[in-house]
């Protein structure tokens, strides 16, 4: 284990396990010598012209897959750069893929992975990678929640996120839009998707659950950061947003709409009606509760622990506008 001083100064994870090619153990007996001689087999790297040709061929294959061979060089470079964030991820011994949230020290975060998936994997027509990413995260669902983060090494996933799970539905929606004729992934994931909705209805970790009075999602216990505004210094959560955040409920509405469409496409008409009915109830509560007439925009959080609505102007309502199914009607959006 290595101690990383720069990461420690930044307040980040400062312990790193570097590459370990193997593991050896031996028993000791009293008064008996024990000797161990390590030996490595040296390999000769490929000559640089051969290595260069291999990398150039790999990059050209990415351009062809993306359909960008005639695009401007800077667009092609973006497609190549996108590939650098896609990594292999093994979970419970199963191979898959994930997305690094950023270099040099971020690991793969659920929120970042699912928000960026359409740009990294769908815009570049790497549909099999998108499928692998969604399967990887679906395999890690626990108590109806997608992991917030896969730590380095063999540590267990962390689940302190309220929105990553809901972004999962949006990412699946974009994949189905790109490949509408292929429902195999949706069919495989349908039981997991139903389980996620059920957990959110009855309640899961960190105070995340549906309020039966208005069908909106509430979240937060005050001591754990759960939205993307997740700065935490020591035990202080800088922006806890405990209550019912605006973008979380827009995502909840979208998850239900997407779930209804998936159910209908798979022939589950009755369940599709149930999901649609719940979505209608969520939308009605959203429209009734979130609009702040005095400010001409949305509240950031309603039903806070203090019994008030947080009118702080933050960009979270813009996330709500960006989703496939806006909670607002078109006429309201144009007026805004």
pLDDT range class, residue 70, cuts 50, 70, 90: confident
Whether the predicted pLDDT of 335 surpasses 60: no
What length does the chain have? 336
Whether the predicted pLDDT of 39 surpasses 80: no
- Per the omega criterion (within 30 degrees of 0), is the bond before 124 cis? no
Closest CA to 145 of 166, 115, 165, 167: 165
Give the separation between CA 253 and CA 325, rounded to whole angstroms.
Answer: 8
User: Alpha carbon of 46 to those of 56, 133, 247: distances in Å?
Assistant: 15, 31, 51
In the prediction, which pLDDT does 255 show? 99
Tell me what percent of the residues of the chain surpass a pLDDT of 90.
Answer: 70
Closest CA to 106 of 167, 53, 51, 148: 148
Q: What digits encode the pLDDT tens for the residues 103-161?
A: 887 889 999 999 999 999 999 999 999 999 999 999 999 999 999 998 877 789 999 99
| Cβ atoms 124, 85 nearer than 8 A | no
Domains of the chain by residue range:
85-335
Q: What digits encode the pLDDT tens for the residues 279-310?
A: 999 999 999 999 999 999 999 999 999 999 99
Tell me what percent of the residues of the chain surpass a pLDDT of 70.
Answer: 92
The fold of 85-335 is: Glycosyltransferase (1.50.10)
């Amino acid at each position: 284990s290595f101690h990383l001083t720069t990461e420690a100064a930044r307040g980040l994870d400062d312990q790193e396990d570097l590459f370990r090619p193997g593991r050896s153990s031996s028993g000791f007996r009293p008064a008996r010598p024990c000797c161990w001689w390590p030996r490595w087999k040296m390999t000769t790297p490929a000559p640089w012209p051969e290595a260069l040709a291999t990398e150039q061929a790999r990059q050209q294959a990415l351009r062809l897959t993306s359909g960008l061979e005639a695009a401007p060089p800077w667009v092609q470079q973006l497609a190549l750069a996108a590939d650098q964030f896609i990594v292999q991820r093994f979970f419970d011994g199963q191979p898959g893929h994930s997305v690094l949230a950023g270099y040099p020290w971020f690991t793969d975060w659920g929120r970042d992975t699912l928000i960026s998936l359409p740009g990294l994997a769908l815009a570049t027509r790497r549909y099999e990678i998108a499928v692998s990413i969604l399967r990887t995260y679906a395999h890690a669902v626990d108590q109806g929640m997608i992991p917030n983060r896969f730590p380095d090494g063999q540590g267990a996933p962390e689940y302190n996120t309220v929105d990553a799970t809901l972004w999962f539905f949006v990412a699946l929606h974009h994949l189905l839009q790109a490949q509408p004729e292929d429902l195999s992934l949706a069919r495989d994931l349908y039981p997991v998707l139903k389980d996620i909705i059920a957990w959110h209805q009855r309640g899961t970790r960190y105070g995340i659950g549906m309020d039966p009075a208005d069908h909106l999602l509430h979240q937060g216990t005050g001591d754990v950061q759960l939205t993307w505004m997740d700065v935490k210094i020591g035990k202080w959560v800088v922006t806890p947003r405990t209550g019912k955040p605006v973008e979380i409920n827009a995502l909840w509405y979208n998850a239900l709409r997407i779930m209804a469409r998936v159910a209908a496409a798979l022939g589950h008409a009755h369940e599709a009606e149930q999901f649609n009915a719940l979505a209608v109830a969520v939308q009605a509560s959203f429209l009734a509760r979130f609009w702040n007439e005095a400010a001409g925009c949305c509240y950031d959080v309603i039903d806070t622990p203090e019994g008030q609505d947080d009118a702080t102007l933050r960009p979270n309502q813009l996330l709500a506008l960006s989703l496939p199914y806006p909670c607002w009607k078109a006429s309201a959006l144009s007026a805004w």
